[in-house]
A and B are shown apart, each in its own frame.
Chain A
């Protein structure tokens, strides 16, 4: 499975570097923990990739909101239903 991480372009996706992946993940976990991370400070860490990191970091807030809304509006929903796996399955 590890090879997936090094896969370059996939359906038009830029070949994100390890630093970008780490930065996005770090930012994402800070948002999920309810924090208000300073996006500009994060972007300043990798100024060279700012143009493609900014939309991803902005998308983090959008996705966080979107999934919260889905969870709120469909309280009985089992997460796995979302991707079409059987109701009783667990991972």
Chain B
């Protein structure tokens, strides 16, 4: 049974076990390489390969052969699984500990240094408290210097959503670090009489 036949049978619900086994055999190595590159360890990569196949199997009817090859569709699912795993770990992570692991390289005067360290620690601690995608996009944009279009492509997220996450990250970082709230919007009477 080839890929085309396996996909056809899966979609029709015929000989599911064998069809699924064919696809697993065809793509397990490719997926493992892809996910190992992302995770950097065997255990996570293996687990994610399994989760990817399970998710693909569940949503096989959503696969549209005219839009993309099966391998691309599978890779997109794998990427999502990887992000879900990161998000789970992110919630448990303590971002501030990194400060003590890395340690500052330069050592200017005592007062300046203290102020600088305090502000940096505030930014770092705050990044750790942002929602997952806010923090990921903040790091990709401000640390890695990627444009919104690049981030949109890499995360498979609409550019408008990326911009919204960045704006939210900026809003929260600013609120926390500068401790100077964004002023309340004064009431505006719309032309139709509604107040916003």
How many A-B residue pairs have C-beta atoms within 8 angstroms? Tell me: 163
- Name the distance in Å between B185's Cβ and chain A's nearest Cβ: 6
Q: A5-B164, A59-B178, A83-B95 are in contact. Are A89 and B38 (CB under 8 A)?
A: yes
In this assembly, does B186 line the interface, its C-beta being within 8 Å of a C-beta of chain A?
Answer: yes
17 more A-B contacts (CB under 8 A) besides A10-B168, A12-B175, A83-B93? A1-B157, A4-B164, A5-B160, A21-B160, A28-B166, A52-B182, A56-B171, A56-B174, A66-B120, A70-B124, A75-B105, A77-B98, A84-B93, A84-B128, A85-B89, A91-B38, A91-B83
A residues with a Cβ closer than 8 A to B are: 1-2, 4-5, 10-14, 16, 18, 20-22, 24-25, 28-29, 32, 48-49, 51-52, 55-56, 59-60, 62-64, 66-67, 69-71, 73-77, 79-91
B residues with a Cβ closer than 8 A to A are: 37-41, 83, 86, 89-90, 93-95, 97-98, 101-102, 104-106, 116, 119-120, 123-124, 127-128, 130, 133, 135-136, 139-145, 147-148, 154-155, 157-158, 160-161, 163-168, 170-175, 177-178, 180-183, 185-186, 188
